[in-house]
Structure 1
Amino acid sequence: MDPGIAEEIISPDAQHSPGTTPPPFISFVTFNRMGLTIQNINNILNSDENFEMHIIDCNSKDDTWEYIKGLQDERIKSKTRFCVNRGPIYVLNYNLKKRKPNQYFFTIDSDVFIRTKDWLSKYIAVFEAFPEVGLLGVMRDNPYPRYLPPVIPRVKGDLSYLQLKNAAVDVIMDFIPGSLQGLRPELFEQIGYWSEECGYGDAELSPRITHYTSYKVGFMTNVEIDMTQSIGCDQCAALNSCSLNKSVKTCFMLAKQTNRNESFAKYAKWKYLELFNELAEGKRTAYCASLLDPASREGHVYHETWALENFEYYLRRSN
């Protein structure tokens, strides 16, 4: 499938020597909201931690891509701009396909401001202390209400996490939110990709891992975030470079106008439920393939029509 790339900038040192352990992979996807993108991506880059960041701009209509192109940091390994928006799962899997086999994978939403210093090291420490956990995340925070589903505390010395107890299918918020997620390398051998067939993202990933792999999922207890959804133009770092007519439409208005995640969830719910019916009946494994990776579909169930319909939903409504 043509990924629809308008422009891609790849760092010349993006490849590692065989046998070496690469630093964690950070997937950062933007879609309008340049003001938040500048604030939150610079907060990540203003750390001494080592990682490889891969940034995708999903056809933003503001000046986000121009800003991203100008970022200079040796830890940024690729910058990609898509011609069209096919939804969050498509771009997430595009970045995931770049991951090296022994590389931790982190996905960070562009509206997440990470308050905790050395957050990446804290994640890795928990992964290393608890080999049973495959996915770790954090609770959503301001301006969202802090909500914690049923969990089981797991403690080893001064390290801990909260293991998701039920991860029930079709239960509101009984999953690890996708705002800031880390996944251990070995997990991908069992799960493949985020499901393009149902497109439910974090809501499908937690129960798929919990009930159909050898791993568990849980919440970090020592990483704090803020999810403020907008900032005033007078407080924006891009105030003097933004080309939008802000009296007509701001970057946040653009983002709200083109966000179709809520309506998509209603549209594709039957696919989400059918995916787990197939898993429960043994018709498929936890491994979900991707259109972006032809080899992944060999020997695995993949409802291509479902996936294409999901991408088309965003193509028609979110560009």
Structure 2
Amino acid sequence: MNPLDTRPAPETHDGPPTPAPLLSVRDLRMTFGSGVRAVDGVSFDLRPGETLGLVGESGCGKSTTGRMIVRLLQPTGGTIAFDGHDLTRLPPRAMLPFRRDLQMIFQDPFASLNPRQTVQQIVSGPRKLLTRPQVIELLERVGLAAEHADRYPHEFSGGQAQRIGIARALASGPRLVVCDEPVSALDVSIQAQIVNLLADLQDERGLAYLFIAHDLSVVRHMSDRVAVMYLGRIVELGSRAALYDDPAHPYTRALLSAVPVADPDVEATRERIVLRGDPPSPAAPPPGCSFHPRCALAQDLCRTAPPPLREVRGRQVSCHFAEATP
């Protein structure tokens, strides 16, 4: 049994009226000085208490998107609105009131923890947001012990260090947490523990997550909706059920075909889609649809006209011929 199946998957948001977005990203862009278009016109909303999974191959722009949202990177275009406030071009001092509400959990906990600080100092932060008893309470909530408060990062395992990173992210009482590959560097059994901890904390605190990952099994477990990125753009965005049970974009279908299935009979007979070649360089993306050099459905239109995100079978898809997918 997959250890990630130890906790029921989250429910989708059906029934009550849809709340206003907590985060609205519109036409977000990041072009580095080398000419690399790491993020090329990304738009999405994230509601309070919701998890939006952001998936795609390495180098597609997922982490860059997350870092722009928390303003670790300055976008070169587009807008980021948090609770109705445009954060895109705020100077550092003006961002301070929003820092408590926007936090990030990083892929490599050791690289993100100051090796010269104790856990007490790391979690309480430079402004000493928490008292000693509050730090200990938070450490215990994430699965650590009171005596860990006086230790240094190098004294912990990878899973424990990530728990410290989670405690630090929660110390300010955020409303939105960007989780950037939070379990990819951990053993599978530890991954399950961290994923379930994040899900429990979300239920307790009403957190919204932007959950960035390349592991589609983890994303399926955590997410209410999923956005698939390819070469800096979102190519499919929809509910978890729609995307996993009925993928519409050829790239999404290829990604899901590579995910192992627990049933050996199904695994032995299901279709696997092998993409041609490697992703193009973001420094020189192809004209038209960026996926067309690897797509079995590609036609002349795909080579000249970029497909817009449009409604197809209850989700948004960037593909001229998405209706042709079974």
The question of a shared fold, defined as TM-score above 0.5 by the shorter chain, is answered with no
Normalised TM-score (structure 1): 0.27
Bigger-Rg structure (1/2): 2
TM-score (norm. length: structure 2) = 0.27
